[in-house]
Chains A and B, each alone.
Chain A
Amino acid sequence: MQKFLFELNRDEEFQARYAEDRRGALVSFDLTAEEQQALIEPDIGLLFHLGVNGQILMHFAALHSIEWQDYLQRMRDGLAVHGPVREGVYAVTGYEGVDAHSRRLGQTSDIEEGD
């Protein structure tokens, strides 16, 4: 999965092929049906749960023009549905988000949180 995303994120020609035929762009990669479906939708939350490195996933989300707070929320939703990140150093610590953190400190913020 990560190898596919690495290749996709850095190659505009590959991105064009993926835009044309998402399933077809995956054929040369060794992927399970679950992984294929997550990449085709794309299911950001499931990909994060499966252990896709956050930086690779962030670039992939940007490729799909997923707005920042929506992107963060999709990861949170993915963990809620599928459980903790399976592997890798990009996980979660229980941080409750910028707004909640600011509220706890008695501060205000204009930042819209996705939740």
Chain B
Amino acid sequence: MPLVFAGVCSHAPGIVGRADQADASAKNRLYEAFDDMRQRLEASKPDALIVVAAEHFANFFMNNMPSFAMGMADYYEGPIENPEWLGISKTRIPGNRSLSERLIQKVMETADVSYAEEWKFDHGIMVPLHFLTPNYDLPVIPTNINCQGPPLAPLHRAWAFGQALREAADSVPERVALIGTGGISHWPATPDSGKINESWDRQFLDEWSRCDKAAMLSYADTQSYLDAGQGAFEIRTFMTVSAATEGAQGIVHFYEPIPIFAVGCTIGTIDLEAPQLRSTI
């Protein structure tokens, strides 16, 4: 059946792991926005949650790097990181092998995707789940877009992948929710950590909220790298959600640069009830 929920959020490890170092009011506003997103997700009564993430070498490495991959297991594990450092305990996360297999089969009709029966989650998936499914009781279907090891699949391929995901979700009887998680501008895991190009972020989010396909596909990685850092390659995850909900309006519920979290923290959802795109926002 049609997607029951779609949204985007940040996943930076500092959001949980360095929460005590952040401005308390900014942190609280972000946490409230995450909690609001959790409530919206729960209200949609999903049977499973597809998480389109941009992992950081938890499973895939340059010896055998898929551009797009989906998990196909009954359970997963995470986080791989030191739990004290991340602020999230190691746990087992439920999956749904049967649903994964049917979705993957459908995606393969129009897009190339690898599948993985083993998958360990890093902060890229664990941080969103920590807020959105804190009891780890919703089956997750991990999905990855290589945003780390160039060459990266071009943006229009991420778009096609998002369209394929939508067709796949529509083809199964389960109630499927979808989130994309990544950074916008950021320079994570470098001495530049904390640098954020707010105006670049706001422009991208404006395009994202209007589902402006042409504008989003016009980004070039070489220019994004200069303007918004290597972390900006992760806009592919946000664009995948746009492609999966093409024509629907995105609502940015929260955006605020929080330097100690190393990213402009973002929470957004797609208005699936009113798919007619408004001309202005």
Q: CB within 8 Å of B: which residues of A? A: 2-3, 6, 9-10, 53-59, 62-63, 65, 68, 72, 75-76, 79, 89-93, 95, 97-98, 101-102, 109-112
CB interface residues, B 181-226, toward A, < 8 Å: 187-195, 225
Residue of B nearest to A78 (CB): B191
Residues on the B chain within 8 Å of A55, using CB: 56-57, 148, 188-189
The SS class assigned to the A binding surface is helix
- How many chain B residues touch A (CB < 8 A): the figure is 38
Residue B166 CB within 8 A of the other chain: no
Q: What are the residues of chain B within 8 A of A76 when measuring CB–CB?
A: 191
Total number of residue pairs linking A and B with CB closer than 8 Å:
94
Q: How far is the CA of A111 from the CA of B24 in the complex (A)?
A: 12
Q: Does B117 contact A (CB under 8 A)?
A: no
Q: Check B84–A97 contact: CB distance below 8 A.
A: no
On whether the beta carbons of B82 and A63 are closer than 8 Å, the reply is yes
Interface string of B162-181 (1 = CB under 8 A from A): 00000000000000000000
Residue B250 CB within 8 A of the other chain: no
Q: Are A3 and B61 in contact (CB under 8 A)?
A: yes
Nearest CB on B from A83, distance (A): 14
Which residues of chain B are near A91, meaning CB under 8 Å?
A: 190
Query: Are B230 and A89 interface neighbours, CB within 8 A?
Result: yes
